[in-house]
Amino acid sequence: MANFATLKLDDKEVTLPVITGSEGEKGIDIGKLRAETGHITFDDGFGNTGSCTSNITYIDGEVGILRYRGYPIEQLAEKSNSVETSYLVTHGELPTSEQRSRFSHLLTQHAPLREGMLRFIQSFPRDAHPMAVLSASINALGAYYPHLASNNHQRDLEHFDEAAAIAISKVRTIAAHSYRVNNGLPFNYPRPNLGYCENFLHLMFSEPYNEYVPTPEVASALNLFLLLHADHEQNCSTSTVRMVASAGANLFASVSAGVNALWGPLHGGANMAVLEMLKNIHDDGDDGTRFIAAAKSGKGDRLMGFGHRVYRNYDPRAKIIKTSFYKALASLNIKDDPLLNIAMKLEEVALSDEYFISRKLYPNVDFYSGLIMRALGIPLNMFTVMFAIGRMPGWVAQWHEVAQNPKLKIYRPRQIYTGATQRNYVPINMR
Ligand code: CMC
């Protein structure tokens, strides 16, 4: 196996090292290319660029593999839960029972918000988008915990356990409070006796006269949703977190930037788009057949929740979430949901259609996660917020990886300038 690649530019030859990952992935290290040749590499949108080495998540999209810290997602989904998996993702190893209790205790301790934060969230207008409230509030945490937000990585890392627990616990409380603001409802206080998911559902839906108690199947569907979203290597929001962290920024500043990136419809908005598509199909009196025909012709919209930039096979998360979804539906007594029927029809038709087969378009995690959110009573504008709660452990872990890198350099991509060449200033009366 070659350890070097040779690049020929005019009559000059440069030798570039090839680096190999632990799963055999290969990359050409072009770090010295500019110094030696005056050239940079060009990769619009970073589709073929390895921006870092990382120990957190491994994906093989050709075969449909996803592993956190080496553990297959299928094993974690079956045997672990979202809190334990958060610890694994952020700390690198599965916790001992002592470490797990301490981590759970920290999450419980940090669930409530300070009074000032509550007033801050209350001050948003009723129609504020919950993603705006979430990113602003997570950034504001830095103001409440200055010892965790010194913008000196060495000092911030001394309190990493506390900062990680605050980010992972409070993202859920802030998210639920943003829903209460949207609905003009008073905030619920977190309950120390409830688990992570049960507490979130209580914060969202309990009323003074009616405490919300989810069925175990509903809590476990939410738990699975969060676990499956915990990390997904160098996607747009994660790369954003690492970019901000590379400047030396603290955890809260970095992960709130990740929330903003996720807000973009091309990233975190796909689960919402699936549900909107299903509603439109239903309102048009279609069973999905006309929609599929239009999608194939290129004249209609794409089949949302199908296809993936990295997975060219079934998204492993979609397979897992589908099973839990049916259990949650049964426990909620949802038997005949017209949108669900349309989704099933779309999936059945697409999986046996030459157009989708030849292009390797399979259901992705968003095809089912929107339906799960809907079954849990989560409103459409909160879907991306749910994704952010799930992704927080991944962002925290990626920040940590950047912060503790002794050879850290600020991320600073180059560009190929295509604007005007030098020209002389023209006075206003001559323009
Ligand atoms: N429905 C119909 N046709 C599709 C679809 C789709 N969902 N996705 C791709 N195609 C077709 C596309 O028209 C093209 O056809 P042709 O070769 O005839 O021109 C071919 O498949 C390749 O498309 P592409 O745009 O080059 O594929 P991509 O890998 O760049 O796009 C994607 C990946 C996810 C953006 C795309 O599949 C898509 O738009 N899917 C729907 C949106 C969606 O579900 N997004 C969620 C992604 S998962 C999020 C996460 O992991 O965080």
pLDDT in tens, 307-324: 988 888 889 999 898 887
CA distance 56 to 396: 11
Q: Separation of 424 CA from ligand 1 center, angstroms?
A: 46
Q: What is the mean pLDDT of the chain?
A: 94
Q: Give the CATH class of 4-50.
A: mainly beta
By the 8 A CB rule, do 98 and 104 touch? no
pLDDT in tens, 45-100: 998 999 999 999 999 999 999 999 999 999 999 999 999 999 999 999 999 999 99
Q: Is the minimum distance from the CB of 302 to ligand 1 under 6 angstroms? A: yes
Measured CA to CA, the distance from residue 325 to residue 222 in angstroms comes to 10
What is the set of active-site residues? 308, 366
Torsion of CA 380, 385, 390, 393, to 10 degrees: 170
Kindly state if the Cβ of 316 falls inside 6 Å of ligand 1: no
Would you state the pLDDT for residue 372?
87
The CATH architecture to which 270-376 belongs is: Orthogonal Bundle (1.10)
**Does the pLDDT value for residue 380 go beyond 90?**
yes
119 lines ligand 1 (CB under 6 A): no
Ligand 1 closest atom vs CA 364: 48
Which CATH architecture is the domain 71-226 placed in?
A: Orthogonal Bundle (1.10)
Determine if ligand 1 sits within 6 Å of the CB of residue 300.
no
Q: Summarize the confidence of residues 397-421 as an average pLDDT.
A: 96
355: pLDDT strictly greater than 80: yes
Give yes or no on whether 71-226 and 270-376 have one common fold: no
Handedness of CA 38, 44, 47, 50 (dihedral sign): positive
User: Do the beta carbons of residue 264 and residue 387 sit within 8 Å?
Assistant: no
Tell me which of 73, 309, 354 to substitute to probe ligand 1's pocket, judged by most ligand atoms within 8 Å of the beta carbon: 309
Does the C-beta of 363 come closer than 6 Å to ligand 1? Answer: no
Question: Ligand 1 pocket test: which of 361, 362, 369 has the largest number of ligand atoms within 8 Å of its C-beta?
Answer: 361
* Residue partners of 12: CB distance under 8 A and separation at least 6: 37
> From atom 22 of ligand 1, which residue's Cα is the shortest distance away?
359
Task: Return the residue whose CA atom lies nearest to atom 21 of ligand 1.
Answer: 359
Please check the confidence at residue 1 and state whether its pLDDT lies above 80.
no
Report the distance separating Cα 202 and Cα 374, nearest Å. 17
The angle that helices 365-375 and 270-283 make with each other, rounded to 10 degrees, is 70
pTM for this entry: 0.94
346 C-beta closer than 6 A to ligand 1: no
> How many other CB atoms are there within 10 angstroms of residue 340's CB atom?
19
Q: Is the CB of 304 under 6 A from ligand 1?
A: yes
Tell how far the Cα of 268 is from the centroid of ligand 1, in angstroms.
15
CB 226 within 8 A of CB 390: yes
- Nearest-atom number in ligand 1 for the CA of 306 is 7
Cα 309 to middle of ligand 1, angstroms: 7
- Measuring CA to CA, which residue among 284, 319, 325, 322 is closest to residue 301? 284
Domain positions in the chain are 4-50, 71-226, 270-376
Evaluate: CB of 370 within 6 angstroms of ligand 1. Answer: no
CA 268 to ligand 1: nearest atom: 52
Q: Which residues of 166-193 are buried (b: 16+ CB within 10 A; e: fewer)?
A: bbbbbbbbbbbbbbbbbeeeebbebeee
pLDDT band at 329 (very low <50, low <70, confident <90, very high): confident
pLDDT, tens digit (0-9, with 9 covering 90-100), for 287-300: 899 999 999 999 98
53/398 Cα distance (integer angstroms):
11
Cα 8 to ligand 1 centre (Å): 35
Q: Is 270 in the pocket of ligand 1 (CB under 6 A)?
A: yes
Q: Tell me, in angstroms, the distance from the centre of ligand 1 to residue 302's CA.
A: 7
pLDDT for 265 beyond 80: yes
| Ligand 1 atom nearest to CA at 308 | 34
